[in-house]
Structure 1
């Protein structure tokens, strides 16, 4: 315990306090000896970083619980690594730095339920660098992260319906086609239609 506290830059008394607050997973025990590892050190460094950013110990404990019970990255990537989207690995403090005080247990759970986030040891994995960047950009514009995630769930439902429409269309009329060739065609249609829809919305009078 003393060695772990020294490496983490805290006192043994503080380490015991964190254990009492269940901020730290229990050590591996061999008889009367308790062994700590890099996982415990990473958690302590995360706690220190979150405290420096203004998070309370109560909030950190809630985040730790959500993190420990979150979806494993194997579940997140259960269908295989996305063919076009690039997953991003983040430490909890890096995630907090992107979204500041918007990283709450409820938002973390919502992002995991949506399939945006999974856990891999002490790291968080986001399914898509592009979705991560645009989510952070929307939050910087003043939109609460909870509403960004709620909108993401609605977009996911529409995207699934569009994907079904295009695959059904191709399979109905060209059963021998390689469905991978459908990707750029479908993406072009969706991007063009969305662009036109935004034009229509943005050109409407303000009172409509």
Structure 2
């Protein structure tokens, strides 16, 4: 039977010996050792000669099984795991804890894969981390914006490859930064800081209207 807690002051977290963890994850002990040697799961906590695994290891093993079922290779999963780990430091720089109009979304790796129909490759994951769309928090992934997540997933469902969506997002980011700089300079030059914050919706309304008009012009020119 698995332990009820870690024994190191963290009550409520279950721990498992190797055989117990393998049984819970539905794999063999030999497979578990192989995953550990490949760096697919973090090292266990050692207490003397006993190796203790916890629910985080179990969640990672279930994610590996889900990704394998979706056609990912172990090599690809290793790259993806590495990207998860490198995202921890990047996540601290995203400003997710700062006040924002966007609502962050917490997802398991499997839930993220489900959103994008198997297109969450190591390359796409690395691109999303680089853009600042994703960060890693423990065993969960944090997407910086529910709206961006929903729109991106909708585009993929419509047949647009996720790699193309991320490439376009990088260009959009550059234009959005330029527009934000234009409006903040305008408002800071002619209003107080308090007024600039209050008038933020006006700047967004101008951009939305201009984008709508630009789409009308572009679409009307298509054959």
**Is there any run of 5+ residues in structure 1 with no aligned partner, and where?**
none
8 Å Cα contact 1:116-1:126 kept in structure 2: yes
Structure 2, unaligned stretches of length 5 or more?
A: 1-17
- The 4+ residue runs of structure 1 with deviation greater than 4 A are none
Distance 1:64 1:168 in 2: 41
1:51-105 deviations in whole A, cap 9, x for unaligned? 2222222221221121122244322226x33421110011011111111231111
* 2-structure distance, mates of 1:14, 1:106: 26
Shift of 1:195: 0.3
SS in 2 for 1:118: strand
Deviations 1:21-78 (A, max 9, x none): 3211111223322121121111011111112222222221221121122244322226
* CA root-mean-square deviation: 1.6
Once the two structures are superposed, the pairs formed by residues 1-208 of structure 1 within 5 Å of their partners are 1-72=18-89, 73-77=91-95, 80-175=97-192, 177-206=194-223
Give the conservation status (yes or no) of the 8 Å contact 2:88–2:137: no
* TM-score normalised according to structure 1 size: 0.92
8 A Cα contact 2:68 2:74, kept in partner:
yes
TM-score by length of 2: 0.86
Residue 124 (structure 1) shift = 0.3
- Conserved? CA contact 1:88–1:125, under 8 Å: yes
Alpha-carbon distance in structure 1 between the residues aligned to 2:196 and 2:168: 28
Task: Report the Cα offset of residue 150 of structure 1.
Answer: 1.2
Q: 1:47 is paired with a residue of what secondary structure?
A: helix
